[in-house]
Amino acid sequence: MSDTHAQTVAYVRDTMLPEQAPPSTAAGPIKWMRDNLFSSVLNTVLTLLSVYFLWLVLSLVLPWVWYGSWTATSLKECREVVADLGLAHGAACWSVIGERYLQLIYGFYPAELYWRANLAFVLMIVALAPVLYPNLPRKILWFSALYPFIAFWLLWGGTLWTPVVAVAGFVLGYFAFEALYRLAGSLVGVIAAILVPVIWWLLLAGPVANGLASVLPLTIETVESAKFGGFMLSIIIGVTGIALSLPLGILLALGRQSDLMIVKAICVGFIEFIRGVPLITLLFVASTLLNYFLPPGTTFDIILRVIIMVTLFASAYMAEVVRGGLAALPTGQYEAADALGLDYWKATRLITMPQALKISIPGIVSTFIGLFKDTTLVSIIGLLDPIGLTNTIRADSNWNGIVWELYGFIALMFFIFCFGMSRYSMYLERKLKTGH
C-alpha cells in the first residue's frame, strides 16, 4: 500500500520518523510543577504557604496517630505509657478501639451469631453489585429483589415463614393487578395492587405464618431489636433508607408535577411539611408519640419506625432534587415522546426519568450521604449506633474521658462509606456521558 504511494505520489511520506521523548520542560513532573504550582509569583507564594500549613498540621497529627498505644488496658495506663515517649503533644490510645471494635461494629448482637450479620453484609454486596454495575448479568437482580427479606430473616431470626408471607403479599398484589388491569383498567388495577397486599399483611399474613411455622418451624434464633447497634445498625438504617427514599422521591416528584390537583396537593404538602421540620423531631415522634396512635397492644419495632421516618425525611429532599432534574429537560423531549405515541408512564420511564436522574446524580448522592450521616441522630432516641455506643464506652471507668480516638475512628468509618458513594457517583456520571 505505502509502496504504491511512494511511487505514485511523491509528496506522501511513507516512513515515519522515530518517536522522540518531549524535552523535559514540556512534559513530566517538572513541567507539571511549573504549570500547576509555580506558574506566577502569586501561585508560588500560595504554594509555599500551603506546603507550610500542611506540614504544620501533619507534623502534629501523624506522630500522635503513629506512636499511639495499642496495648494499654485503661486510659490511665495509656497516659503513662504515652508520657514515657516524651512527645510534645502526646499520642493516641488506640487500645480502646482494639478492645471495643466488635461492639462498635455489632452493638450487643450475640457474639455467636455474628456470622449471620456477616453473611447478611456479604449478601448485601452481592445484591448491590448488579444495581451499581449494569454490565453484570441482569438475572442477579432477582436476588437483589429478594435480598431485603433474606437479610431481615438473617438479622432478626425467627421463622423463615415471616419473610415468605411478606413476599407473598407482593406476589398477590402483582396477580391482583394483572387480573383486574385487563378487566377494569389501570386505575382499578393499581388500587387492587395496593389493597390486596395491605389486607394480606395486616389480617392474614400473621396467622398464616404462625400456622405454617407450627407445621414446619424452619426457625433460627431470634435477636431483638434492642441488641442491634454499632455500624451494623447505621448500615441497616442507612441502606434501607437509601433504597426506599429514591423510588419514593421519584414518585413524589412526579406527583408534584402532576395535573391531578389532589395528588399534587398531597405531594406538595408532604414535601413542604417534611422539609420544614428537623429530622430529630420526626425521630422523637417515631420513638414515643407513634405508640399513642397505634392500637394498644400492637408492638411496632423501633428500628422499623426509625427507618420509616428517615426514609420519609430523605424522600422529601430526593423529590426536590429529582424535580430539578425533570425541570432541566427541554420541553422538546416531552413533545417528541408524545409525538411518538408513548403514554405518560412509558415516556417517564424511558425518556424523561432516565435523563432527569442522570442530571440529578450529584444531588441524589448528596442526599444519600446526608441520610447516611443522619443515622447518627438515632443515638438521641436511645438506639446504640456508634455514637450511642460512645456513651457506654466512656461510662466504663477504664475509658472514662476518652474522646479523640473514639470519635476519630467513627468519623473515619463514616468517611470511608461516604467517600465511596461520592467516587461511585463520579464514575456513574462519566459512564453515562453520551455527548462529546
Partner 1 sequence: MSQLATDREIDRSKMAVSDEVAIQINKMNKWYGAFHVLRDIDMTVQRGERIVIAGPSGSGKSTLIRCINRLEEHQKGDIIVDGIELTSDLKNIDKIRREVGMCFQHFNLFPHLSILENCTLAPMWVRKTPKKEAEEIAMHFLEKVKIPEQADKYPGQLSGGQQQRVAIARSLCMKPRIMLFDEPTSALDPEMIKEVLDTMVELAEEGMTMLCVTHEMGFAKQVANRVIFMDAGQIVEQNEPEEFFNNPKSERTKLFLSQILGH
- Which residue of 137, 276, 297, 332 would you call a contact of partner 1, by CB under 8 A? 332
Please give the Cα distance from 102 to 230 (Å, whole number): 9
Please give the Cα distance from 12 to 6 (Å, whole number): 7
Residue nearer to partner 1 on the CB measure, 269 or 354:
354
Q: x/- string (CB under 8 A) for partner 1, residues 194-233? A: ----------------------------------------
E strands along 135-286, which residues?
158-159, 219-220
Residues 417-436 that bind partner 1 (CB under 8 A): 432, 434-436
Q: Considering the complex, what minimum distance in angstroms separates the CB of residue 337 from partner 1?
A: 8
By CB under 8 A, tell whether 350 contacts partner 1: yes
Kindly provide the b/e burial profile for residues 121-130, where b requires at least 16 CB atoms within 10 angstroms of the residue's own CB. bebbeebeeb
Give 337-361 as a DSSP string: HHHTT--HHHIIIIIIHHHHHHHHH
Please give the Cα distance from 129 to 122 (Å, whole number): 11
Residue nearer to partner 1 on the CB measure, 174 or 345:
345
Q: Considering the complex, what minimum distance in angstroms separates the CB of residue 301 from partner 1?
A: 41
By CB atoms closer than 10 A (0-12, 13-18, 19+), residue 45 is: exposed
Residue nearer to partner 1 on the CB measure, 185 or 207:
185
By CB under 8 A, tell whether 330 contacts partner 1: yes
Q: Considering the complex, what minimum distance in angstroms separates the CB of residue 344 from partner 1?
A: 9
- Which residue of 338, 382, 419, 427 would you call a contact of partner 1, by CB under 8 A? 338
The amino acid occupying position 168 is A
CA distances (Å), origin 135, targets 45, 55, 126, 139, 159: 48, 44, 14, 11, 36
Rg (CA), the chain: 29
- Which residue of 144, 210, 333, 422 would you call a contact of partner 1, by CB under 8 A? 333
Q: Considering the complex, what minimum distance in angstroms separates the CB of residue 119 from partner 1?
A: 37
- Which residue of 35, 184, 343, 382 would you call a contact of partner 1, by CB under 8 A? 343
Q: By the 8 A CB rule, do 256 and 323 touch?
A: yes
- Which residue of 28, 354, 362, 382 would you call a contact of partner 1, by CB under 8 A? 354
- Which residue of 13, 346, 423, 431 would you call a contact of partner 1, by CB under 8 A? 346
Q: By the 8 A CB rule, do 320 and 271 touch?
A: yes
The amino acid occupying position 302 is I
By CB under 8 A, tell whether 276 contacts partner 1: no
Query: Closest Cα partner for 168 from 220, 217, 218, 212?
Result: 212
Residues 4-33 that bind partner 1 (CB under 8 A): none
Residue nearer to partner 1 on the CB measure, 264 or 358:
358
By CB under 8 A, tell whether 340 contacts partner 1: yes
By CB under 8 A, tell whether 339 contacts partner 1: yes
By CB under 8 A, tell whether 341 contacts partner 1: yes
Q: Considering the complex, what minimum distance in angstroms separates the CB of residue 320 from partner 1?
A: 22
Specify the length of the chain in residues: 436
Q: Considering the complex, what minimum distance in angstroms separates the CB of residue 140 from partner 1?
A: 22
- Which residue of 342, 361, 413, 421 would you call a contact of partner 1, by CB under 8 A? 342
Stretch that binds partner 1, among 43-51, 93-101, 187-195, 350-358 (CB under 8 A): 350-358
Please give the Cα distance from 274 to 308 (Å, whole number): 13
Q: Considering the complex, what minimum distance in angstroms separates the CB of residue 161 from partner 1?
A: 39
Please give the Cα distance from 321 to 316 (Å, whole number): 9
- Which residue of 126, 336, 411, 426 would you call a contact of partner 1, by CB under 8 A? 336
Q: Considering the complex, what minimum distance in angstroms separates the CB of residue 352 from partner 1?
A: 10
Q: By the 8 A CB rule, do 417 and 242 touch?
A: no
By CB under 8 A, tell whether 361 contacts partner 1: no
Residue nearer to partner 1 on the CB measure, 85 or 340:
340
How many amino acids of this chain bind partner 1 (CB under 8 A)? 21
Q: In sequence order, what are the residues at sequence separation of 6 or more whose Cβ sits closer than 8 angstroms to the Cβ of residue 173?
A: 192, 193, 194, 196, 197
Q: By the 8 A CB rule, do 402 and 75 touch?
A: yes
Q: By the 8 A CB rule, do 302 and 309 touch?
A: no
Q: Quick one: which H or E segment has residue 131?
A: helix 114-132
Q: Which residues bind partner 1 (CB under 8 A)?
A: 330, 332-333, 335-336, 338-343, 346, 350-351, 354-355, 358, 432, 434-436
